Amino acid sequence: LRTAYRFHPVAGPRAAPDYAANGHNPPYGAVIDFYLPKKPKVPVRLIIRSPGGKIIRVFLSQPKTPRANRLPSLHSGINRFVWDLRYAPVHGVSDCAGSGSCTGKLRLPPPQAPWVTPGPKGYRPIVSWDLDLTHRGPLAVPGRDTVTLEIGHSHWTRPLLVLKDPYSSGTLTDIRAQVAFSLQIRSQINATVHLINEIEWMRKTLAGIEARLQADRDHPATLSRARHLGGVLLGVEGQLFDVYLTGAREDAFRHPMQIYGRLCALLKDVEDSADYPPTDSDRVVFGILKRDLRAVEMRFATVEREAVAPFNQYLEKRGLAGVVPVGRTRRL
């Protein structure tokens, strides 16, 4: 394993990423080479641990693993993998395709935009058009990490030295504070994504119920209650992210960002502070957003208890199928 340096990218005053004369740098990060006598037929894991033994990142060989945490196709002979020195990104970010910043899985069209449909997988990502968002995990703290290669029941561990940028005036203490704070923000973003995905499942179920009831004229009151509950859930979800996002560039100035977008912007602000710790303002803003997210979680719990559960009972008494799930394990 080669020694790696922890560098922050530096943006120039002008950029021409598609210029034909541009050169191509190799992938940034720690180069990890390993030899396989034959192509493995069992799952392979590559585990990065901090000097204290805490897991920083896990990469898997299974095809269904999200792209951000998936090992490339392995073969007999020498294999090379480059770890970008980062923790895992925000949940769901590997489902993004194309420009913009995205995560989460939206299963219904936006309000007033029925032409925006879920993709072939049954969902579309949240695409926020903003230059100041990120979903990347933070760069790991410099130190003597370890890399473990697991193939079936066998494993091999080697040290990996990650060095601090020699030109940075930030200290290791500053970097540790920055990384710890970034991981707290990422945790709140993931909690927001989980809640969005759970509400999307519930609204998707309600949409199916409404479609069946529209074809059955014998339940007008039930249809009205289903539509009302859908509106309540949409109101809760609208506090988490801009529910009017369509994926168009014009989304950037149509409606304000909510908790999700603001947390992602805060993560970007902290990440762009070179090797320095978070500011007092960063911590104050994070406290406000964390409080707001907690309030939405409590509101959603109230809706589940006082609106969704009674609606389930209402459906069951009338022998109607398609009950909205309550207490579903939050899924991606």
Q: Centre a 10 Å sphere on the Cβ of residue 190 and count the other Cβ atoms it contains.
A: 19
* Distance from C-alpha of 203 to C-alpha of 196, rounded to nearest angstrom: 10
Q: Is the pLDDT of residue 126 over 80?
A: yes
The pLDDT assigned to 249 comes to 79
The pLDDT assigned to 214 comes to 82
The residue ranking higher by pLDDT, 289 or 249, is 289
- State the average pLDDT over residues 190-214: 91
Residue type, 104: G
Residue 125 phi, psi dihedral angles, 5° rounding = -80, 160
Q: For 50-63, how does the pLDDT look when each residue is reduced to its tens digit (9 = 90+)? A: 999 999 999 999 88
The pLDDT assigned to 11 comes to 65
* Distance from C-alpha of 297 to C-alpha of 278, rounded to nearest angstrom: 26
- State the average pLDDT over residues 161-190: 95
**Residues forming beta bridges with residue 55, ordered by sequence position:** 49
Task: Tally the C-alpha atoms within 13 A of residue 301's C-alpha that lie toward its C-beta.
Answer: 6
Q: List C-alpha distances in Å: 95 to 30, 91, 92, 101, 239.
A: 24, 9, 6, 11, 23
Q: Is the pLDDT of residue 267 over 50?
A: yes
Predicted TM-score (pTM) of the model is 0.88
Q: Centre a 10 Å sphere on the Cβ of residue 276 and count the other Cβ atoms it contains.
A: 15
Evaluate whether 128 touches 100 at the Cβ level (below 8 Å): yes
Q: What is the mean pLDDT of the chain?
A: 88
